Amino acid sequence: MSNDRFLRALRREPVDCTPVWIMRQAGRYLPEYRATRARAGSFVKLCKTPELACEVTLQPLARYPLDAAILFSDILTIPDAMGLGLSVDEGVGPRLARPLRTREDIANLAVPDPDTDLRYVTDAVRLIRKELAGKVPLIGFAGSPWTLACYMIEGQGSDNFARAKALAWDEPATMHMLLDVVARSVARYLAAQAAAGAQALMIFDTWGGLLAPDLFAEFSLRYLAQIVQSLKADSATKDVPVILFSKGANSHLEELADTGCAALGLDWTIGLGNARMRVGDSVALQGNLDPAVLHASPQAIRNEVRKALHSFGPYPGHVFNLGHGITPDVDPEQLGVLIDAVHDLSAKK
Ligand code: CP3
């Protein structure tokens, strides 16, 4: 591979400069993304057409010297493959046509076969790997069981996912039945992405931070650990690094690091140096600038990059990223400033 900084940093090996990629790097802030999505007709169609998913995956790499590509897809492909019916409309966000309403709905769920039900994803992974031709590594991903359960129960985004929490309190056994079938689906799906060529795997636990500590341990962490362990137990995936991103779950970094993952994704509400002190050198860290920094001046962006690099310190094991996805209102030029600053200010002289 011509650029393996990202994989080296995940293994906590020395690098010539800090690798950087950006959550949602293929997204609506890029005019070329909006054009391809319009051509596809809808977001879901874009995800389900491997040639177009490949095209948008590569768009940010044509603009910027990024150190990794991430598969263009969505975490809600699994609920869709389980029959819940995904759509994503402008201004509305993701929606599931048939959310889970009864215990029966949950009892009837089956683990999708990634090679048939989610074939469009593994086909996209193979195509992207071929097109990348070893230039940079490709990241595959999935949602965490808790985060997927939130959408599957609610049917759409929510401020607090109170319906999902209520199920956890009222019928914990039913919630565990749901989380278990989703966790097995996620593990199989990630293994299939790795088999198709994904060189690192990230699990997005976007709504983990909504849970009080005891609920986090029981309904989120346990299933993240189950997935990591299942990937590590399989000879085909045991060496594929897994990045766990539990947004807003800074009070659980030690337990997350103990799952056996390679790296933790961090949001911007904790300092990199502080996080590193807590987990030691047991895992790499990925993150964590506030995405809003891309609305500040180029000088301020550079300064925030410098501060983040300094906070992490002169150790191996840092992958630079934002603390959450880049937003649609960002000027693409501004992202270029950030990426150049990361490489420039971290270069080993
Ligand atoms: O990072 C990347 O470039 C890869 C692509 C990616 C998308 N979604 C593309 C997308 C990834 C990794 C995701 C993960 C995802 N999807 C998460 C976890 C990450 C996070 O942001 O916390 C979540 C919670 C979802 C569910 C989802 N899908 C949301 C909240 C939205 C955005 C709704 C909105 O209107 O802002 C989507 C749709 C979506 N997924 C878009 C993109 C680029 C925008 C849809 C569009 O183009 O109209």
pLDDT tens-place string over residues 224-282: 999 999 999 999 999 999 999 999 999 999 999 999 999 999 999 999 999 999 999 99
Per-residue pLDDT tens digits for 149-168: 999 999 999 999 999 999 99
27 Cβ closer than 6 Å to some ligand 1 atom: yes
Token digits for 187?
């593990």
Per-residue pLDDT tens digits for 23-35:
999 999 999 999 9
d(CA 283, CA 276): 9
> Is any atom of ligand 1 closer than 6 Å to the C-beta of 43?
yes
Q: What is the pLDDT of residue 104?
A: 98
Q: Residue 181 corresponds to which amino acid?
A: V
Nearest-angstrom CA–CA distance, 26 and 21: 11
Mean of per-residue pLDDT scores for the chain: 97
Mean pLDDT of 295-320: 98
User: 262: which residues sit within 8 A by CB, 6+ positions away?
Assistant: 10, 11, 200, 241, 242, 243, 283, 284
Buried b (16+ CB within 10 A) or exposed e, 116-129: ebbbebbbbbbbbb
Q: Give the pair of three-digit tokens for residue 203.
A: 């699990």
Minimal-distance CA residue to ligand 1 atom 18: 204
pLDDT above 70 (res 1): no
Q: State the pLDDT at residue 348.
A: 86
Nearest-CA residue for atom 2 of ligand 1 = 24
pLDDT tens, position by position, 332-342: 999 999 999 99
> Is ligand 1 within 6 A of the CB of residue 37?
yes
Query: At 43, which helix (H) or strand (E)?
Result: helix 43-48
pLDDT reading at 2 higher than 90: no
pLDDT for 91? 84
Residues contacting 14, CB < 8 A, separation 6+: 8, 316
Question: Mean of the pLDDT values across residues 93-122?
Answer: 98
Q: What dihedral do alpha carbons 2, 5, 11, 15 form, nearest 10°?
A: 120
pLDDT of residue 188: 98
The answer on pLDDT for 81 being more than 70 is: yes
pLDDT tens, 19-65?
A: 999 999 999 999 999 999 999 999 999 999 999 999 999 999 999 99
Q: How many angstroms separate the alpha carbon of residue 237 from the centre of ligand 1? A: 25
**Pocket flag, ligand 1, residue 28 (CB < 6 Å):** yes
Which stretch of DSSP H or E encloses residue 148?
Answer: helix 145-154
Q: What is the pLDDT at residue 176?
A: 98
